[in-house]
Amino acid sequence: MKSLKGRFIRANILMVIISAVLVIFVSLLLLFIFSMSERDGVRILIERSGQIFEGEFNFKDSLMMYAAIWAVLICSMELFVCTILSASLSRAILEPLRQLRTAAETIADGNLSFEILSCEDKELNDLCISFDQIRQRLKRNAEQEKRIETERNMLIANLSHDMRTPITTIKGYLEGINDGVADSPEKMQKYLDTIYNKALILERLVDNMTQYSELELGRMQYAFEFVDLTAYLKDLEEDYKQSLEDGGFCLEVKLLEMPLTVVADRDKLKRVLDNLLSNAIKYNKDGGNVTISTETDGKGVLLSISDTGMGIKESDINKVFDGFYRGDAARSNIKGNGLGLAISKQIIESHRGKIWIKSEENVGTQVYIYLPLRQKE
């Protein structure tokens, strides 16, 4: 690729050389004229119409006239060459600048779906590349803003949809109590329990929305500390086992009998586990199994939560971590707002870990979490 700086240098050198050659040529010409001016004039005879005239030819005057003519020609030639060089450089600079101006006007009109062409000169090509990088960044920002706007609209729509059912239920049971339908202590307690459970659903919905918004805005606060993951999971085992058994499921825990120290926020990590176990219950078969296990490669710990449920389509696995995603119609009938895995993914990545899924339809799903091991200082 040519260098614009090199072209300037070559053009300037060429103009200097041409000027120097012409100066030397004119100087030699003047020296020749002055040397000839020392000669005497020459008397000549001219015959015209049968008559003879006598005259004198002056070398000095003639040479001075020719010198002036040559000087004009040489200066004109230098001016012509310099004009060509200048026009060539101007064209090399102005054409890319015109393209950049057109690109800037296109961007100002809101059109970012185009490509800025490269230039022959290195400096101008670097400018074109930088300008195109700005265009690409603006395009990415515009796409992100569009995505955020879409998610915001989905957030409102899903929130409205998911809150309508428990609110309607609570309203109905409260009207029943007010009308005296719950006319026995047992019935009253049933109504109150239902209202309480629906209120818990509303609380989880609002909590999910709040956490998702905080994560998206980068406002989520973490309280990181050294955590022995083995002891941490054993502390949660009884609560999880009781919760699954109440739903008719069986929990199997396979933990390594060794300390596995990670840096984590206990509350946020529990939120991830709650989300994953909630999914393992919601999408499991009646009487299905849920397994929690740990492994290590010496550098990190691999935590897996698997179920024997309906599984996920292969085409949908890469979508399950998107906010509000619920999958096909069969899964969309299940309660929830589709934020659990999206929240879990962002929390795990904030722990410098990774989370991924393997699944097979009608067989089950395995969720894997990898966290780096740390040593207390």
Could you tell me the pTM of the whole model? 0.54
Q: What is the pLDDT along the chain (377 residues), one digit of tens a residue?
A: 555 556 666 666 776 676 667 667 666 666 666 565 554 444 444 445 555 544 544 555 555 566 666 666 766 676 677 677 666 766 767 777 777 777 788 877 777 777 776 776 676 777 778 878 888 888 888 887 887 777 677 667 766 777 788 888 888 889 888 888 888 888 888 889 889 888 887 887 787 777 777 766 667 788 899 999 999 999 988 888 888 887 788 989 999 989 999 999 998 899 899 889 888 888 888 888 999 999 999 899 999 999 998 888 887 787 787 755 555 444 444 444 567 788 888 889 989 999 999 988 888 999 999 999 987 65
The H or E element that residue 239 is part of is helix 229-246
CA angle 9, 13, 17 (to 5 degrees): 175
Give phi and psi for 67, each to the nearest 5: -60, -45
Going by their DSSP bridges, the two strands 289-296 and 250-254 should be labelled as parallel
Q: What domains can be seen in the chain, in order of their start residue?
A: 4-111 (no CATH), 140-217 (1.10.287.130), 225-372 (3.30.565.10)
CA angle 275, 276, 281 (to 5 degrees): 100
Cα(214)–Cα(212) distance, integer angstroms: 5
Beta-carbon contacts of residue 84 (< 8 Å; ≥ 6 apart): none
Cα(50)–Cα(46) distance, integer angstroms: 10
